[in-house]
Amino acid sequence: MSKKTMTLNLTEAEMAVLEGLCEKKDLSKTVLLRQALRLYQRVEERLERGDKLFFEDEASKEKAEIMML
Protein backbone atom coordinates (compact mmCIF):
# COMPACT_ATOMS: atom_id res chain seq x y z
CA MET A 1 0.00 0.00 0.00
CA SER A 2 1.55 3.35 -1.02
CA LYS A 3 2.15 5.98 1.61
CA LYS A 4 1.78 9.75 1.45
CA THR A 5 4.05 12.19 3.21
CA MET A 6 2.93 15.22 5.15
CA THR A 7 4.75 17.96 7.02
CA LEU A 8 3.32 18.77 10.39
CA ASN A 9 3.79 22.11 12.13
CA LEU A 10 3.48 21.97 15.90
CA THR A 11 4.08 24.49 18.65
CA GLU A 12 6.82 23.83 21.17
CA ALA A 13 4.26 22.82 23.75
CA GLU A 14 2.56 20.44 21.35
CA MET A 15 5.86 18.90 20.35
CA ALA A 16 6.78 18.45 24.00
CA VAL A 17 3.53 16.59 24.65
CA LEU A 18 4.03 14.43 21.57
CA GLU A 19 7.58 13.54 22.52
CA GLY A 20 6.55 12.89 26.12
CA LEU A 21 3.81 10.51 25.07
CA CYS A 22 6.11 8.76 22.62
CA GLU A 23 8.68 8.15 25.30
CA LYS A 24 6.09 6.97 27.79
CA LYS A 25 4.39 4.57 25.36
CA ASP A 26 7.62 3.64 23.60
CA LEU A 27 6.16 4.44 20.20
CA SER A 28 7.51 6.50 17.34
CA LYS A 29 5.85 9.83 16.55
CA THR A 30 4.32 8.42 13.37
CA VAL A 31 2.86 5.41 15.14
CA LEU A 32 1.43 7.51 17.92
CA LEU A 33 -0.17 10.00 15.56
CA ARG A 34 -1.67 7.19 13.49
CA GLN A 35 -3.18 5.76 16.67
CA ALA A 36 -4.59 9.17 17.50
CA LEU A 37 -6.15 9.37 14.04
CA ARG A 38 -7.71 5.94 14.37
CA LEU A 39 -9.21 6.82 17.73
CA TYR A 40 -10.46 10.15 16.47
CA GLN A 41 -12.21 8.50 13.55
CA ARG A 42 -13.76 5.88 15.81
CA VAL A 43 -15.01 8.47 18.26
CA GLU A 44 -16.50 10.58 15.46
CA GLU A 45 -18.29 7.55 14.12
CA ARG A 46 -20.01 6.95 17.45
CA LEU A 47 -20.80 10.60 18.05
CA GLU A 48 -22.44 10.78 14.65
CA ARG A 49 -24.67 7.91 15.69
CA GLY A 50 -25.76 9.91 18.69
CA ASP A 51 -23.63 8.09 21.26
CA LYS A 52 -21.77 9.93 24.01
CA LEU A 53 -18.22 9.48 25.19
CA PHE A 54 -17.68 9.04 28.91
CA PHE A 55 -14.92 8.41 31.37
CA GLU A 56 -15.97 6.41 34.40
CA ASP A 57 -14.47 6.88 37.83
CA GLU A 58 -13.36 3.41 38.97
CA ALA A 59 -14.05 4.09 42.61
CA SER A 60 -17.25 6.09 42.56
CA LYS A 61 -18.60 4.73 39.26
CA GLU A 62 -19.47 8.30 38.36
CA LYS A 63 -19.47 9.15 34.72
CA ALA A 64 -18.06 12.38 33.31
CA GLU A 65 -18.79 13.24 29.73
CA ILE A 66 -15.99 14.28 27.42
CA MET A 67 -17.19 17.05 25.12
CA MET A 68 -15.90 16.76 21.59
CA LEU A 69 -15.61 20.05 19.77
Which positions touch another protein (CB under 8 A)?
A: 1, 25-28, 31, 34-35, 37-39, 41-42, 45
Smallest CA-to-CA distance from 43 within 20, 26, 28, 65 is with 65
Q: Let me know: does 28 contact 34? Beta carbons within 8 Å.
A: no
Least distance (Å) between residue 21 CB and another protein: 12
Least distance (Å) between residue 46 CB and another protein: 11
Nearer to another protein, 17 or 31 (CB): 31
Least distance (Å) between residue 50 CB and another protein: 16
3-class state of residue 68 by DSSP: coil
